[in-house]
């Protein structure tokens, strides 16, 4: 682990920069990106050599450097140029590397990380165990392998070569390096790590079960209320779609499936032609997340949008998935695509303002369907069936955001007997 940036002498800072560049190369960053990092970090080293700061003033030193490049302490979204955003990003990389000895990539491109053979082999054994013995879904395994790849790469920065060299202190250092993440993300990450450590103990690869040293992040079920759109915003979103183009026809049908039927993104993305039962006007599929069958009625609005896309927007192809990309290669959406780019494009076009702390993706439309059904008096059991929930506990969460229903159900103080 490197000392704080402010306490580094120029020669030591130069070594940190070289180590950070080697670290980025191991993470799979491009040579072009690393050249930009080198340029900005070299400028920072020159700036640091001319500054006189006290011990532990790393934050002040970095802030002063950013200010010298025209970056305020808390810039407003959209006010920075692309070059300023680059400076801000690469300084965050250097600061995190100096503090933790590694930089955690922001949830993507972990497949570019090359793990040492001992780590790669044990991770593959764990993946086989989860698939064959635990019956984990592909989506679960994608996220789990991504998280564990980050963990094992972190160990390489701590000079750990095999799982036999693991120690509880490595767990503490890793948790500290994840403080930039949201609590719910950290909770999932640590849950995956506990599972992996238990596997290592079960296979006799480590002498003791280290999973007991992994802290637990408890997230209350209702810690984050579902995001709900106003009805007028939903209609404005749909009206913003140009339905004369193949892309518009596709996007309109996808948005309708979310905001009228409440389908999950994974089920929209993987919807297949055989799931559309036109003769009975129904949509029948097995949900990607729960593996539970789901049957929903196809309203005329949704059905017409699907027909319009299938006849006049969808390219001729051998793929059975309903929705395909509009640019080459003309194939289904990737397994990690949450379709956020689609809803964001039309939300901005419609100039819909949403709270920054709430969900703004396609899943918010699913929440909106549930809340609308609840407001019209639909029983929870029916809503659970429409949304494909396996437990009523998931559906009951929406009662916390049905403010209008709660207001009507409130007791009138004047009607209460007085002592």
| Catalytic residue from among 150, 153, 260, 389 | 389
Angle, to 10 degrees, between the axis of helix 82-100 and the axis of helix 10-26?
100
Largest CA distance in the chain: 80
Residue length of the chain: 419
Using the Cα atoms of residue 297, residue 298, residue 301 and residue 302 in order, give the sign of their dihedral: positive
Catalytic residue among 247, 249, 260, 363: 363
The reply to whether 363 belongs to the active site is yes
180: annotated active-site residue: no
Residue 59 tokens, joined? 């934050």
To the query of whether residue 69 is one of the catalytic residues in this protein, the response is no
Q: Say which of 36, 69, 142, 289 is annotated catalytic.
A: 289
Tokens of 359: 């969900």
Of 264, 347, 367, 372, which is the active-site residue?
264
Q: Is 389 a catalytic residue?
A: yes
- Please pick, among 247, 260, 366, 372, the residue that the annotation labels catalytic: 366
Residue among 398, 400, 408, 418 flagged as catalytic:
398
Reply yes or no on whether 408 is catalytic.
Answer: no
Q: What DSSP letter does each residue of 119-145 carry, written as one string?
A: HHHHHHHHHHHHHHTS---HHHHHHHH
Active site residue 366: yes
Catalytic residues: 264, 289, 363, 366, 389, 398
């Amino acid at each position: 682990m490197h000392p704080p940036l402010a306490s580094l002498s120029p020669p030591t800072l130069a070594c940190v920069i070289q180590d950070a560049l080697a670290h980025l190369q191991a993470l799979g960053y491009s040579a072009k990106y690393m050249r930009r990092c080198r340029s900005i970090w070299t400028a920072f080293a020159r700036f640091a050599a001319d500054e006189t700061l006290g011990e532990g003033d790393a934050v002040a030193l970095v802030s002063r450097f950013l200010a010298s490049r025209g970056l305020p302490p808390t810039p407003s979204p959209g006010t920075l140029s692309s070059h300023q955003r680059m400076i801000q990003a690469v300084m965050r990389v250097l600061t995190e590397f100096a503090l933790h000895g590694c930089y955690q990539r922001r949830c993507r491109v972990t497949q570019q990380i090359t793990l040492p053979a001992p780590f790669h082999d044990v991770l593959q054994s764990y993946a086989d165990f989860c698939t064959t013995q635990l019956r984990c879904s592909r989506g679960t395994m994608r996220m789990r392998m991504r998280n564990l790849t980050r963990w094992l790469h972190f160990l390489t920065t701590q000079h750990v070569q095999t799982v036999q060299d693991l120690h509880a202190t490595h767990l503490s250092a890793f948790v500290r390096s994840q403080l930039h993440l949201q609590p719910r993300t950290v909770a999932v990450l640590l849950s995956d790590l506990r599972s992996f450590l238990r596997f290592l103990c079960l296979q006799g690869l480590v002498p003791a079960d280290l999973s007991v040293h992994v802290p637990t992040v408890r997230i209350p079920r209702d810690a984050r209320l579902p995001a709900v759109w106003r009805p007028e915003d939903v209609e404005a979103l749909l009206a913003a779609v140009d339905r004369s183009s193949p892309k518009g026809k596709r996007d309109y049908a996808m948005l309708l499936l979310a905001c009228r039927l409440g389908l999950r993104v994974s089920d929209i993305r993987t919807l297949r032609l055989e799931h559309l039962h036109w003769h009975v006007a129904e949509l029948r599929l097995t949900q990607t997340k729960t593996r539970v069958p789901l049957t929903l009625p196809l309203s005329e609005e949704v059905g017409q949008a699907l027909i319009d896309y299938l006849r006049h927007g969808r390219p001729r192809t051998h793929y059975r998935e309903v929705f395909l990309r509009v640019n080459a290669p003309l194939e289904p959406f990737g397994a990690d695509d949450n379709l956020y780019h689609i809803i964001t494009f039309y939300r901005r076009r419609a100039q819909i303002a949403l709270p920054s702390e709430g969900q703004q993706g396609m899943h918010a439309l699913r929440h909106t369907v549930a809340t609308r059904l609840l407001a019209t008096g639909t029983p929870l059991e029916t809503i659970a069936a429409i949304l494909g929930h396996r437990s009523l506990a998931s559906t009951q969460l929406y009662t916390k955001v049905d403010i209008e229903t709660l207001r009507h159900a409130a007791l009138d103080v004047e009607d209460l007997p007085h002592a």
